Amino acid sequence: MTKEERKVILASSAGTIFEWYDFYLYGALAAIIGAQFFSSFPEATRNVFALLAFAAGFLVRPFGALFFGRLGDLIGRKHTFLMTILIMGISTFVVGLLPSYEAIGWVAPVALIVLRMLQGLALGGEYGGAVVYVAEHAPRGRRGYFTSWIQTTATLGLLLSLMVILGVRTLTGEDAFKEWGWRVPFLLSIILLGISVWIRLQMEESPAFKKMKDEGRQSKAPISEAFGNWKNGKFALMALLGLVAGQAVVWYTGQFYALFFLQSILRVDMFSANVLIAWSLVLGTAGFVFFGSLSDRIGRKKIILAGCVLAAATYFPVFKAITAIANPTLNAAQQNTKVVIVADPDDCSFQFNPTGTAKFTSSCDISKALLARSSVNYSVQYQPGAIPAKVMVGSTEIASYEVAKLSGDAAKATPAAFTKQVNEALAAAGYPPPGKPAEGIVKLDGFFDIFNSQAFPLVLILTYLVLLVTMVYGPIAAALVELFPTRIRYTGMSLPYHIGNGWFGGLMPATAFAMIAQTGDPYYGLWYPIVIALGTFVIGMLFVPENKDKDIFAEQGVR
């Protein structure tokens, strides 16, 4: 690798790491930020803000891909992703300065949502620009290796955000962090922004784009050319369904759902869960470069689709092993205690709630939600007319309630009494009491407190999940770049990437939890990534071409 090639990779990767760092901060600190900016509003208003923040985090990204992808194909890669990093960095820094609701009223939460949407738009444009820029500098036969460095950025950005948050939290203390310390990670982003902009200002435009511009072959309408005709549009569909959808769910399962599973299902405390995930990222990140480089020799498609199949085949035993090691008391209770909900089928709904704002008030839904939050392994016995629903823990039977039918003192007493009775029955049957650490549950006191017989095996298992992530994610940038010609490459690859990762992947925790609540099986949510990964395998095998030896400077067509 020449000095100039190293500079290209460094400039692109460093900036993209900082963009992901900025983007992840909000998600990691959402609860604290919500208390600062939304808590003074009525419930309905809080729900609107939660929906907008969710939309910015996941749904807005494809629009950023279209907007900045079009600019990148019209004016160039360098100038476009210089804009995206400026928007992301400034937006993140301003969040750290933003006065709370108590200081400036409704302006504060509105400004926060606007800044969050700017972050989503910027991220939608950043990834495609960085990948295309590096790929168009890479020598033929080395695109997988060169672009794999960009693939490390999302994981390194997540790791950097976790480390900074943990460090600031430790230095300030929990109370001070909630009051003002949460702003520090956002304010630090201005330093990262300055470094990134300085590096990127030294860069030259990509040779493929300069060649195309000099020859007058630029697209005048990149969006319509990329998606408005079947010749190119079919490759966007292939990219989405035959590559990115499977990559997205494997990526989210190995990093975000694993963290969600540890905290929400297994009740591991936040610090311990974050440290376990952080170590798995440290140990597994080199896999991005390994599999990216391997794809230059054996092909992109083989590795990505193999990762999808391997994930689908191993997710159930892997997550069951995590449960057995991390929370053995809960694992024993799930296996040995029979819990049944008896309910009318018309009284039950599918509890899909990605923003956390939906209300489920029927007796069946209340029972399901309570047991799912308690990580109980239960089944549902549908019986017409069984209203209110009943929860049966072994031989103990407890009647549920319906919010709509409560009034006065009953509205206050009945939910608490029902919850208390269920929790007592579960505790008597061996389930860990809510709010108390389960006996034998994994607990870490420091970042290096992993070298014991419980934590270290967990780190190794979580590292395996990260390695699956590196299999599907390491080669995907090169695979996407090679599907589209230079004139529409930025636009063509960015949209399927951000739809796949923002929507298929981003909705995974909410969808998985709804599936768990629906069936009572703590592992049933894994069918979501398994089915999508297998679907991607089939579509990818049948329709996606292998382009590892393609000359991306040629403009004879997409192939």
Condensed to tens digits (0 to 9), the pLDDT of residues 443-462 reads: 998 888 899 999 999 999 99
550 three-state secondary structure: coil
Q: Where along the chain do the CATH 1.20.1250.20 domains lie?
A: 3-326+444-543
Structure tokens at 60: 């807005």
- The identity of residue 435, as a single letter, is G
Q: DSSP state, 355?
A: T
Residues forming a β-bridge with 382: 343
What per-residue confidence (pLDDT) applies to 456?
94
Q: Scanning the structure block, which residue is given the tokens 């190995």?
A: 254
Q: Scanning the structure block, which residue is given the tokens 């420091």?
A: 446
Q: By the 8 A CB rule, do 504 and 248 touch? A: yes
| Secondary structure E strands in 338-487 | 339-343, 378-382, 390-393, 396-399
Q: Where along the chain do the CATH 3.40.30 domains lie?
A: 336-428
Helices within 327-448 (DSSP H only): 328-336, 363-373, 409-428
Burial of 206 (0-12, 13-18, 19+ CB in 10 A): buried
| Beta-carbon-side half-sphere exposure of residue 14 (alpha carbons within 13 Å) | 19
- Which of 218, 215, 211, 191 is closest to 75 using CA atoms? 218
Please report, for residues 4, 96, 196, 550, 553, the alpha-carbon distance to residue 140 in angstroms, rounded to integers and kept in the order given.
16, 43, 27, 8, 10
What per-residue confidence (pLDDT) applies to 484?
86
Burial 398-429 (b: 16+ CB within 10 A, else e): bebbbeeeeeeeeeeebbeebeebbbebbeeb
Q: DSSP state, 546?
A: P
Whether domain 336-428 has CATH 1.10.10 = no
Burial 287-302 (b: 16+ CB within 10 A, else e): bbbbbbbbbbeebbbb
Structure tokens at 426: 């579960």
CATH superfamily of 3-326+444-543: MFS general substrate transporter like domains (1.20.1250.20)
Burial of 115 (0-12, 13-18, 19+ CB in 10 A): buried
What per-residue confidence (pLDDT) applies to 185?
92
What distance lies between CA 554 and its chain's CA centroid? 35
- Which of 20, 28, 155, 31 is closest to 462 using CA atoms? 155
Q: By the 8 A CB rule, do 135 and 146 touch? A: yes
Q: How many CB atoms lie within 10 A of CB 103?
A: 9
Helix axes 77-97, 107-137, angle to 10 degrees: 150
- Which of 327, 297, 279, 294 is closest to 464 using CA atoms? 279
The CA distance from 360 to 364, in Å, is 9
pLDDT, tens digit only, all 559 positions of the chain:
677 777 778 777 877 888 788 777 877 787 788 777 876 666 556 656 665 666 666 778 888 888 888 888 888 777 887 888 899 889 889 989 988 888 888 888 888 888 888 888 888 888 888 888 888 888 888 899 999 988 888 888 888 888 898 889 889 988 899 889 999 999 998 988 888 888 878 777 777 777 777 777 777 777 887 788 888 888 989 999 999 999 999 998 998 889 888 988 898 988 898 889 989 988 999 999 999 999 999 999 999 999 999 999 999 999 999 999 999 999 999 998 999 999 988 888 887 766 566 677 788 888 888 888 888 999 989 999 888 889 999 888 888 887 656 555 444 446 778 888 998 899 998 888 877 777 889 999 888 889 999 999 999 999 999 999 999 999 999 999 898 887 888 888 888 988 888 788 877 877 888 888 888 888 999 999 999 999 999 999 999 998 888 877 665 443 3
Structure tokens at 193: 């922004």
Rg of the chain's alpha carbons, rounded to an integer?
25
What per-residue confidence (pLDDT) applies to 244?
94
The CA distance from 177 to 165, in Å, is 9
- Which of 385, 380, 415 is closest to 401 using CA atoms? 415
What distance lies between CA 328 and its chain's CA centroid? 27
- Which of 83, 500, 468, 182 is closest to 309 using CA atoms? 468
The CA distance from 85 to 164, in Å, is 20
- Which of 549, 534, 525 is closest to 241 using CA atoms? 534
Please report, for residues 72, 130, 223, 306, the alpha-carbon distance to residue 206 in angstroms, rounded to integers and kept in the order given.
11, 11, 21, 32
State the pairing for strand pair 378-382/339-343: parallel
Please report, for residues 203, 265, 330, 454, the alpha-carbon distance to residue 322 in angstroms, rounded to integers and kept in the order given.
45, 11, 11, 10
391 three-state secondary structure: strand
- Model pTM? 0.85
Q: DSSP state, 382?
A: E
